[in-house]
Homo-oligomer: A and B are copies of this chain.
Amino acid sequence: MPGHASFAAADLEDTVNASDLEDLIGYNLKRAYVIVQTDFRDTLGEDGLSARMFSALSLTVRYPNITQSELAKMLGIERSGLVAIVDALEEKKYLARAAVPGDRRVQALVPTKKGAKAYGEAVAAVKAHEDRLFADMTKTEKETLLGLLRKIRRKEAKA
């Protein structure tokens, strides 16, 4: 038990059972996020895809010819921040920046065959990681959690 640096003052710790911190959604959300994110990295990690790269690639596969601005908005990050992610994916030959006839400003992102394949494998690995990590939850619990998290996501400050 903490708070007992040998000369231990006040033993009111057991009296106080309102933990504040532990009852906050934000704090628990953060701690849970760190755990999941760490496991993700340990799974996909070591020259695999980072979470950022995975999510960017995922949307590129699902929405081929998506614009960088559109992608950034969907990911909830700034355009400037996306550049490095797309650079990394392009360097791995997982996608390409393609010129768009109509508008010479935009660069459409299109996954390569290699990228589509790598994404398929990554998805499998990620699903295995979640299956394993949340093995002690029932399907209902997972769906409930997902629903509640999405409910929070709806509060997102819109541009």
Contact = CB atoms under 8 A, between A and B. Distances in A.
B37 A2 contact: no
B28 A153 contact: yes
- Chain A, interface size category, equals 35 or more
B106 A5 contact: yes
Contacts of A128: none
Contacts of A6: 100-103
A158 to B, nearest CB: 12
Interface in A9-42: 9-10, 13, 16, 19-21, 23-40
A98 to B, nearest CB: 8
Contacts of A10: 64
Nearest to A74: B2
A51 B26 CA distance: 9
Contacts of A71: 2
Contacts of A146: 23, 25, 28
B157 A7 contact: no
Contacts of A110: 9
A159 interface: no
